[in-house]
Amino acid sequence: MKRKYQELLAVLIILFLYLGIFINPSLIIESGISSINIFKTKLFPSIFPFFVLASLLLELGLATKISIKLNPLIRKIFHVEGNSSFIILVSLISGFPSGSKYVVESYKDKTIDKNTANYLLTFTHFANPLFVLGTCGLILNSLSLAYKILIIQILSNIILGIILRPKEIISSKITNNHQNKSFLEALPKAINDAIKVLLFMLGSITFFMFFSKLLTTTLSLNPFFNTILTGLLDMTSGISLVNTIDTTNYIKGLLVLTFITFGSFSVHLQVLNNIKEEDIKYKYFFIGRIIETSIALVLYILF
């Protein structure tokens, strides 16, 4: 019965999109152009370098050395060890969806077990620092507010990780299943891996931007609800619309934080794409986003 309703919903969405294309074809062209502009000016410059660097660390065998150094601290805070240290560090530096990407890679390499993979998936949803401080800071016209959002988002994930951490430390050895390559061998692979992830990101952003524009146009929403709906469907598009709202910077910052911590369905789709071939449960990521958003909103109001 559940699957029947899911199929019905999928059919209705597809029909809605087809009608939108025929009734307003310029909308899909506009969505495509907008999504490419957002991608090339806001996402690609801030995410691509970090993805390449993270892949290089893995391929050159440096991830193992980093894990050894971080292991005592990560073990104490999150009750996990081994290659989990590298996953947490890279997700913190690179931003989502790198957390799910490296959780899956480590699970495939058997350097973490299923329980650890599901646990890490809940709280390695960190925003890219350059995106928050650069893009969000410019949109909000306040670097201090952007720093506040970044710090709260990081703290929320750390608190979430502590709340959900295993009672006992999950022991695992630090292993390197990658055959160490030379820099010239590792660089092309790192670039190819990053491009593959980013192309899917562009595709999901384009789809959800078209869907959100079609939906908001059909419903004739005011700028406030238009921004909220757009932000829930695609985070970057929603953040870009924040300045269309006639409200205080405090409320704008609250909306930006909500879009980042929940991630939007566009980001959720990227995570689903990363984990689809492995026995890792999406529900842990979804529950993590609900709890993280709740923690972040409380911290934002308090501080």
Q: Per-residue pLDDT for the chain (303 aa), expressed as one digit of tens each?
A: 556 766 777 788 788 888 888 888 888 888 888 888 988 888 888 888 888 888 888 788 787 788 788 888 888 999 887 778 888 988 888 888 888 888 998 888 888 889 999 999 999 999 988 899 988 999 999 999 999 999 999 999 999 999 999 888 766 665 555 556 778 888 888 899 889 889 988 988 888 888 888 888 888 888 899 999 999 999 988 998 998 899 999 999 999 999 999 988 989 988 998 888 888 999 999 999 999 999 999 999 998
Note whether residue 292 is domain-resident.
Answer: yes
Residue type, 231: G
For residue 11, is it within any domain?
no
Q: Does 137 reside within a domain? A: yes
Determine, yes or no, domain membership for 265: yes
pLDDT number for residue 147:
96
Domain of 85, in residue numbers: 36-302
| Type of residue at 194 | A
**Three-state SS sequence of 20-61:** HHHHCHHHHHHHHHHHHHHHHHHHHHHHHHHHHHHHHHHHCC
pLDDT value, residue 171? 66
Let me know: does 161 contact 75? Beta carbons within 8 Å: no
Angle subtended by helix axes 44-59 and 62-78, to nearest 10: 100
138 within domain boundaries: yes
- Please report whether residue 298 resides in a domain: yes
Quick check: helix, strand or coil at residue 103? helix
**Could you tell me if residue 24 is inside a domain?**
no
Q: Give the span between the Cα atoms of 13 and 126, in whole angstroms.
A: 30
* Side-chain-facing half-sphere of 5: CA atoms under 13 Å: 2
State residue 108's pLDDT score. 86
Q: Is residue 6 part of a domain?
A: no
How many domains is the chain partitioned into structurally?
A: 1
